[in-house]
Amino acid sequence: MVHAQDTGDKLPSLWRKALAIAATGLMLGGPAMAAPDAALQAAAQKEQAAVIESLRQMVLIESGSTDLEGLAAMARLIETRLQALGFKTERHKGTTAPGADIVVGTMKGTGKRSVMLQAHMDTVYEKGILKTQPWKIDGNRVYGPGIADDKGGISVMLHGLKLLQDRGWKDFATLTVLVNADEEIGSLGSGELISRLADQHDVVLSFEPNGAKAVSPHEFVLLGAAGTARATLTVKGRASHSGAAPEMGRNAILEISHQMIQTRDIGKTVPGIIHNWTNVISNKATNQIPELATAIGDVRITVPGAEKTFESSMRARLAASKLIPDTETLFEFELRRPAFLAGPKGAALARRAQAIYKELDRELLTLPMTGGGTDAGYAGRSGKAAVLESMGLAGYGYHARDEYIEIDSIVPRLYLTARMLIELGKD
Ligand SMILES: [Zn+2]
């Protein structure tokens, strides 16, 4: 697939990119302003309170990617909502551990085009997070773990569809809603289903979050996202009593530290790769020279194929030096989520979205690429469906602390979702 600008090596963060684009005015062609659908706009405004209530209900369900109980409660809530909208729902079991259910809703209409809407119900947070990061409304901000990523996306999807249901809109062949439960851990158990279903649709709209005003002057849609891979380093040393006979041991933690330090900048030397060591696991005993240590590295790929250079550079560097004699270092590299490249079909969708935002007299930015992975990569893998990402709410602090959404993004996002579906129905 052809794709665009900025797949360079030192990829700026999504946020800096948003600002850079705004500053240079680098946007897709400026569509003429048309009159808004006033009835839809008013309905979206009226729906805002219901969106906030849905957000509250979902935020109060903690649903970390391994929290099967919380994910089951989320699945029930989403399923009930979809059924109330007239969808037939089914569950698909995640094909890899922890195996939480994926909810899929389908509805048949009287039109020609098939559209899939997707979001995810899992969050990155540990159980108990609500104790330190509670639900809270403060001015234009609503706080809560997972509220932007991606409970805001689920809400926009469900309430956008509600606006269309209220109008009796049926201008589609098939409408599918997919909500998976393992996005934050790579979608290994749902990615194939996403790819398969996406291929049966003309268009896929993905509802990951947008940037809040703190980081982006306007809302945006996303046209590209990095693919992901995992680098795993394992060091085998030798266990020994750390007080009585430390000299008999071979310290796996010291060796893995050395290996992580000597390889920490390899990602920066390979264009199209972002690599960071993000996790270390070793033994729990404190009175033993550790015999085993594992380090996990998060790898993002913005230039397809760059991973081969990365892997060979990594292996060469690891072989270059050793700190602790008699230890053994193993390296494994596993490709995961495919990169998302919207291509010309996705860019055409983005122009449509910009025209719809113009009806509201709002700017809509287009981001060519981010280092964050997305399931839009699975949806667009074969290139059959046109895919657009970041239809969710404007928010901040996701995967961090004090995550929030901005209330004044709710109405434009509902309007965009409903108007986009109406426009697609006319094709
Ligand atoms: Zn997300």
Do the Cβ atoms of 120 and 179 come closer than 8 Å? yes
Position 376 scores a pLDDT of 97
**Do 141 and 404 meet the contact criterion of CB atoms below 8 Å apart?**
yes
Based on the fold, state whether residues 274 and 165 are members of the same structural domain: no
What's the pTM value of the predicted model, to 2 decimals?
A: 0.81
CATH number of the domain where residue 268 is located: 3.30.70.360
Average confidence (pLDDT) over 190-200: 98
- Which residues surround the ion ligand 1 when the cut-off is CB under 5 Å? 149-150, 208
User: Which residues does 66 contact at the CB level (< 8 Å), separation at least 6?
Assistant: 98, 185
99 backbone φψ class: left, alpha, beta (φ>0; ψ -120 to 50): left
Query: Which pLDDT score is estimated for 283?
Result: 84
Query: Residue 139's CB: how many other CB atoms inside 10 A?
Result: 7
Establish if 3 belongs to a structural domain.
no
Asked if residue 261 and residue 207 are part of one domain, the reply reads: no
Sign of CA dihedral 69, 72, 74, 80: negative
Identify whether residues 295 and 376 lie together within a single domain. no
Question: What's the domain count of the chain?
Answer: 2
Above 80 in pLDDT, residue 410? yes
80 and 222 fall within a common domain = yes
Q: Which band of pLDDT confidence, cut at 50, 70 and 90, is reported for residue 6?
A: very low
Q: How far is the CA of 403 from the centre of ligand 1 (A)?
A: 12
Rounded Cα gap, residues 266 and 277, in angstroms: 11
Residue predicted with more confidence, 168 or 370: 168
Same domain for 141 and 236, yes or no, is: no
Rounded to the nearest angstrom, the gap between the alpha carbon of residue 50 and the centroid of all alpha carbons in its chain is 24
Q: Which of 37, 62, 101, 122 is catalytic?
A: 122
Give the phi and the psi of residue 75 in degrees, each rounded to 5: -60, -40
The predicted structure's pLDDT at residue 32 = 57
Asked whether residue 234 falls in the same domain as residue 361, the answer is no
In a shared domain, residues 202 and 243? no
State the CB neighbour count (10 A cutoff) for residue 100: 27
Note whether 309 and 366 are same-domain residues. no
Q: What is the pLDDT of residues 281-312, one digit of tens each?
A: 998 899 999 999 999 999 999 887 899 999 99
Mean pLDDT score, 48-61: 98
Looking at the structure, tell me whether residues 135 and 58 fall in a common domain.
yes
Cβ-Cβ contacts under 8 Å for 410 (sequence gap 6 or more): 44, 48, 51, 52, 156, 393
Q: Is 213 helix (H, G, I), strand (E, B) or coil?
A: coil
What residues make up the domain containing 404?
A: 14-226+339-426
Residues 192 and 275 in one domain: no
Q: What mean pLDDT do residues 375-402 have?
A: 94
- Residue 122 annotated among the catalytic residues of the structure: yes
Q: Indicate whether 7 belongs to any domain.
A: no
Question: Whole-angstrom Cα distance, residue 150 to residue 128?
Answer: 18
> Any catalytic annotation for residue 375?
no
* DSSP class per residue in 90-139: EEEE-SSTT-PEEEEEEEE-SSS-EEEEEEE--BSPPTTHHHHS--EEET
| C-alpha radius of gyration, the chain, whole number | 23
Peptide bond preceding 150 in cis form (omega within 30 of 0)? yes
Cβ atoms of residues 354 and 220 within 8 Å? no
Is the domain of 232 the same as that of 222? Answer: no
127 Cα: distance to centroid of ligand 1 (angstroms): 18
Burial of 4 (0-12, 13-18, 19+ CB in 10 A): middle
pLDDT at 259: 98
Ligand 1: distance of its center to the CA of 343 in Å?
A: 21
* Cα(351) to centroid(ligand 1), Å: 23
Q: How confident is the model at residue 168 (pLDDT cuts 50, 70, 90)?
A: very high
The mean pLDDT of 276-285, rounded to a whole number, is 94
Q: Which backbone phi and psi does 333 adopt, to 5 degrees?
A: -130, 125
Q: How far is the CA of 83 from the centre of ligand 1 (A)?
A: 24
